[in-house]
Amino acid sequence: MLPVQILKDNAQEERGATARLSSFVGAIAIGDLVKSTLGPKGMDKILISGNGEHQGIKVTNDGATILKSIGVDNPAAKVLVDMSMTQDNEVGDGTTSVTVLAAELLKEVGDLDSFVFLTLCEG
């Protein structure tokens, strides 16, 4: 039986603080992307899809719509996108708020190297 390749040829392995930082950076970037659309002075984003004759332009300040239209390959960022989609499906509003809140929590926790995450979960 031949071995099955699971990872891409250019895949890299990260461990410990480096892996945590890489995950957090992607998730924080997602939060920063939609942060400017939040609140009464929130700004709209212009989403351009396709090219040539089939180019579509959409103007929105909805976090779920923005996050649906971008490609995400970072695992932690995917969690934030999924969280926003779940919020949209269950409640229909607050997609930007939950994304920004989660990203800010990750930003704060990222500074705590010796923090035990189980403590946060237990309250």
Contact indicator for 25, 90 with CB cutoff of 8 Å: no
What is the Cα–Cα distance from 31 to 102, expressed in whole angstroms? 8
Output the pTM of the full model: 0.74
> What is the pLDDT at residue 118?
64
Range of the structural domain that residue 30 is part of: 16-106
Residue 91 is assigned to a structural domain of this protein: yes
CATH number, residue 41: 1.10.560.10
How many CB atoms are located within 10 Å of the residue 87 CB?
19
Residues 6+ apart with CB under 8 A from 50: 56
> What is the pLDDT at residue 31?
93
**Count of domains for the chain:** 1
Percent of the chain with pLDDT over 70: 86
For residue 53, give the amino acid letter: E
> What is the pLDDT at residue 46?
92
Rounded to an integer, the average pLDDT of 106-116 is: 70
Residue 112 is assigned to a structural domain of this protein: no
Between 112 and 98, residue with greater pLDDT:
98
Residue of 90, 106, 99 lying closest to 62 (CA atoms): 99
Rounded to an integer, the average pLDDT of 11-28 is: 77
With bands split at pLDDT 50, 70 and 90, how would you rate the model's confidence at 94?
Answer: very high
What is the Cα–Cα distance from 91 to 76, expressed in whole angstroms? 22
| pLDDT tens digits, one per residue of 39-63 | 999 999 999 888 777 888 899 999 9
Residue 111 is assigned to a structural domain of this protein: no
Residue 8 is assigned to a structural domain of this protein: no
Contact indicator for 16, 89 with CB cutoff of 8 Å: no
